[in-house]
Amino acid sequence: MACVAAYPTIVHHDIVWFWPNSDPQYKDIFEKKKPPFIPELDDPSFTKLMGNRDIAYGYDVLVENLMDPAHVPYAHYGLMQTRKPDVKRDREGGRPLDFVVKKLDMDGFYGKLDMGIGQFTAPCIFSLRTNPTPSPSTQRRMALVFICIPQKACFVPTKSDALVVGFRRWFNKYAGGEVDWRGKYSGDLPPTPPREQLLDRYWTHTVNCQSCSKAHKSLNALETILQVVAVGLVCVVAATMQGAMSTAARTGLAILATACFAASRLLAHFVHKNFRYHDYNHAFV
């Protein structure tokens, strides 16, 4: 008779959480220890959008990356929208960021940022809550919540590295500086995936994002319409008797057909680059 291990599970914030130990003593673990509560995920005043992505590097490196906004204008120049500084000091638009870690213990830490609050809930949740920004009718708030599921580090700390340093302090003090894989990880990294898979946008984001999925379908439909119009105009010009349409009208239709076809090709390139795959080198963007 075949059997599989049963792990304690619970649905919390529309996410399936499980306790990675099938020992019977943990059967009712979620009655004693609940998953972290993230208030924004249950707050109807927030619009919730959830997605997931597999990234081929260490859990600790990923957490550091999320806690380090100072790298965004440089490593993601031209790819991610960032706040423009009052005084532009360089091409990329980087600016000093004043972060301070306020509390650090076994359960994590939180820090004050110039744009809000950053909180690390041990061992794998980082959330960023922005200060309310006034709009004509109401105040807008945003919360980014990252759940990071499982190299030596090099630091050149500035004030904007406060959260990264806080995470490293927690990681070294309470986790021994490494993830306890309980003998299930040999230390060998998986092979690097092909560039097309590594930089894929369609399966890693577009299909999981409601707004991007709708935009992708609408733009594909528009591309098809432009091609149909182009072919239709060419057929009209070809089928019309020489004397039934003026030379100017025939020329105008031919130009319009060419423009529709060219627009469909430009649109196809835009859709592929923004919704499917965009190859780039950070150093030359």
Say whether pTM exceeds 0.85. no
How distant, in Å, are the alpha carbons of 16, 102, 197 from that of 20? 12, 31, 29
CB count in 10 Å sphere of residue 126? 22
Q: What CA–CA distance (Å, rounded) separates 207 from 193?
A: 20
pLDDT number for residue 214: 92
pLDDT number for residue 238: 83
173-180 contacts: CB < 8 A, separation 24 or more?
Answer: 174/106, 174/122, 175/123, 179/58, 179/59, 179/60, 179/150
DSSP H helical ranges for the chain: 29-32, 59-66, 72-75, 162-174, 195-198, 210-239, 247-271
pLDDT number for residue 153: 46
Identity at 136, one-letter amino acid code: P
Question: How many CA atoms, within 13 angstroms, populate the side-chain half-sphere of residue 257?
Answer: 16
For the record, the structure tokens of 198 come out as 């590594």
Query: Residue ranges per domain, the chain?
Result: 8-37, 49-177, 210-284
> How does DSSP assign 136-162, residue by residue?
SSSEE--EEEEE-----------GGGH
Query: Do 66 and 148 form a contact (C-beta atoms < 8 A)?
Result: yes
pLDDT number for residue 13: 87
Q: Can the peptide bond before residue 150 be classed as cis, meaning omega within 30 degrees of 0?
A: no
The gap from C-alpha 11 to its chain's centroid, in whole angstroms, comes to: 23
Query: Do 271 and 219 form a contact (C-beta atoms < 8 A)?
Result: yes
How distant, in Å, are the alpha carbons of 5, 73, 83, 98, 153 from that of 70? 44, 7, 11, 10, 17
Q: Who contacts 179 (Cβ-Cβ below 8 Å, separation ≥6)? A: 58, 59, 60, 150, 185
DSSP state of 237: H
pLDDT number for residue 225: 94
Q: Splitting the chain (285 residues) into consecutive groups of 10 residues, what average pLDDT does each group show?
A: 77 87 88 87 84 77 85 76 70 77 87 85 87 68 80 58 86 83 71 84 88 92 93 85 74 90 93 87 58
Q: What CA–CA distance (Å, rounded) separates 36 from 147?
A: 11
CB count in 10 Å sphere of residue 166? 23
Q: What CA–CA distance (Å, rounded) separates 1 from 160?
A: 57
pLDDT number for residue 152: 47
Query: Do 36 and 121 form a contact (C-beta atoms < 8 A)?
Result: yes
Q: What CA–CA distance (Å, rounded) separates 72 from 66?
A: 10
pLDDT number for residue 231: 92
